[in-house]
């Protein structure tokens, strides 16, 4: 009926705002201004469903407030957007009075699910706010599930190995520790009773049971036993299955395996080598290491020198920093250096952003920060995304020579190796020198051998004489 009145008044020339305001006030004659204001706010959420036919001209009218000129559906849309933003900004938890649900947090735009790797706590343990209680393993990084409130873990509702999505409930936490019953003494006594030997009366009954003796079967002759088949000399003797263990691959290991195999299948991989005399760079490090630590608070390593040399080489040979995209070549006017870091859980590649704008101290600090996060599992997805060129230092493990594999979607990777003292000819004399082999694996579809060799020569020149960086020669 009210809908018909509104239609007739609008048809007679009245404005939709005044008509709806009068109808609203007429239907609420004895309500105070504050009460009407609160009710009107509630009515906004009900209007699209209850007044679906008039939503195009309905307006929000609150007594004592100026008339809003926005249509009702715009108000509803704005409220829904604010509610959505609030939901995304708050932690993923579901509160139900004393009980709080611990759920899987948002894991990143490119990650839709993960594997519940392990629980860090047990039912009955007390946890504080934001204390990790479980770990979710994804394709790229391990994410902690934290407790939204302080309390006691009542129970787990998920199992290790389950595939979970953001918002999945994995545990229930009691704020007041009610309903979390410790193991009762009767249960412990029953468990002990099960493990105790049988009583003496049971033993007497067992003794009273007559033993049934079976007469030897002398009528049947024993069949001659067939000897086991002899193995041929060429047949391999495999170890028994009992000495093997089958363990499922982690998500990170599967992801690394897939990407490396895709790299081999997609790129035309070719590797070129050179060797570097580390004498001057090591002397520079030895002469200024104390002053460097005193001023910058970080040790001067060799990686910063190679990063600066790689930046110089990429600026001299921009094709090394480019990538193929379909039928086009994308040239990058920035240098983001990825540093391969081996962790107990697998290989991760954090990125040093805008390395061309950083000095030695900034590079060393960034490397130390990213390496620490990678080893303790706190590195984020954003810190590993992107990268235009990768440096892999296998020398820390003692590798003398290797052919690294490109990290897609990049086009080249530099491999560093161990420093070994070898006899070298210097000024016509044979002297021992600390030498390192360096390798550049590149996509031969995009990069020719000429550019690859020039790039490695630039690395060699800068590392052997760091003064070139100051003079830009």
Alpha carbons within 13 A on the beta-carbon side of 283? 11
Q: Is 336 a catalytic residue?
A: no
CA distance 58 to 448: 68
The CA distances from residue 288 to 117, 301, 304, 460, in Å, are 45, 11, 14, 21
Is the CB of residue 60 less than 8 Å from the CB of residue 68?
yes
Instruction: Say how many C-beta atoms besides its own lie within 10 A of residue 302's C-beta.
Output: 18
Residue 447 near residue 319, CB atoms below 8 Å: yes
Total residues found in the chain within this entry: 473
**Cα gap 174→155, rounded to integer Å:** 9
The end-to-end CA distance of the chain, in Å, is 87
Q: In this structure, are residues 69 and 59 in contact, taking their beta carbons and an 8 Å threshold?
A: yes
Of 95, 287, 376, 448, catalytic = 448
H-helix or E-strand spanning residue 286: helix 279-296
Among the listed residues 265, 264, 268, 262, the one whose alpha carbon sits nearest the alpha carbon of residue 443: 268
Beta strand 341-343 pairing with 93-96: unpaired
Nearest to 417 by CA among 440, 387, 450: 440
DSSP 8-state symbol, 71: B
Which of 113, 144, 444, 465 is the catalytic position? 444
Active site residue 444: yes
Nearest one of 134, 130, 170, 179 to 152, comparing CA atoms: 179
Q: Residue 68: which of 122, 9, 13, 21 has the closest Cα?
A: 21
Spatial distance between the Cα atoms of 82 and 74, rounded to a whole number of angstroms: 12
Beta-carbon contacts of 259 under 8 Å, excluding residues fewer than 6 positions away, are: 407, 408
Asked whether 127 and 121 are in contact (CB, 8 A), the reply is yes
* C-beta separation of 52 from 73 below 8 A: no
C-alpha distances in Å from residue 107, one per residue of 111, 144, 145, 167, 284? 6, 10, 10, 10, 43
By annotation, the residues acting in catalysis are 444, 448
């Amino acid at each position: 009926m009210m809908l018909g009145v509104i239609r007739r008044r609008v048809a007679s020339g009245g404005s939709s705002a005044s008509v709806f305001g009068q109808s609203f006030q007429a239907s609420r004659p004895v309500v105070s201004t504050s009460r009407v204001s609160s009710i009107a706010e509630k009515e906004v959420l009900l209007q699209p469903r209850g007044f679906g036919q008039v939503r195009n001209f309905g307006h929000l009218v609150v007594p004592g407030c100026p008339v809003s000129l926005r249509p009702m559906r715009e108000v509803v849309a704005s409220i829904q957007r604010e509610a959505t933003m609030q939901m995304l900004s708050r932690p993923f938890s579901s509160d139900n009075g004393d009980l709080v649900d611990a759920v899987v947090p948002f894991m990143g735009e490119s990650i839709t699910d993960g594997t519940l790797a392990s629980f860090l706590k047990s039912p009955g343990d007390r946890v504080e706010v934001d204390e990790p209680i479980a770990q979710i393993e994804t394709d790229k990084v391990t994410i902690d599930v934290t407790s939204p409130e302080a309390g006691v873990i009542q129970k787990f509702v998920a199992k290790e190995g389950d595939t979970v999505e953001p918002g999945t409930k994995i545990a229930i936490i009691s704020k007041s520790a009610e309903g979390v019953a410790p193991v009762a003494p009767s249960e412990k006594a029953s468990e002990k009773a099960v493990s105790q030997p049988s009583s003496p009366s049971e033993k007497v009954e067992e003794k009273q049971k007559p033993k049934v003796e079976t007469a030897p079967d002398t009528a049947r002759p024993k069949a001659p036993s067939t000897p086991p088949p002899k193995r041929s000399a060429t047949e391999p003797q495999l170890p028994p299955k009992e000495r093997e263990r089958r363990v499922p691959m982690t998500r990170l290991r599967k992801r690394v395996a897939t990407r490396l195999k895709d790299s081999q299948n997609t790129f035309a991989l070719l590797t070129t080598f050179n060797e570097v005399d580390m004498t001057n760079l090591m002397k520079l490090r030895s002469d200024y290491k104390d002053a460097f630590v005193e001023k910058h608070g970080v040790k001067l390593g060799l990686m910063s020198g190679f990063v600066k040399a790689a930046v110089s080489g990429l600026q001299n040979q921009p094709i090394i920093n480019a990538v193929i995209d379909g039928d086009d070549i994308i040239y990058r006017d920035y240098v983001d250096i990825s540093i391969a870091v081996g962790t107990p859980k697998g290989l991760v590649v954090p990125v040093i952003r805008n390395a061309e704008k950083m000095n030695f101290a900034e590079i060393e600090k960034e490397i130390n920060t990213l390496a620490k996060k990678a080893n303790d599992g706190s590195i984020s997805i954003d810190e590993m995304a992107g990268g235009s060129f990768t440096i892999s230092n296998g020398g820390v493990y003692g590798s003398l020579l290797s052919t690294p594999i490109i990290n897609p979607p990049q086009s080249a990777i530099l491999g560093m190796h161990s420093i070994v003292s070898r006899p070298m000819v210097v000024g016509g004399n044979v002297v021992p020198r600390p030498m390192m082999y360096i390798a550049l694996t590149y996509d031969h579809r995009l990069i020719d051998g000429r550019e690859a060799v020039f790039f490695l020569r630039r690395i060699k020149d800068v590392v052997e004489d760091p003064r070139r960086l100051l003079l830009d020669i």
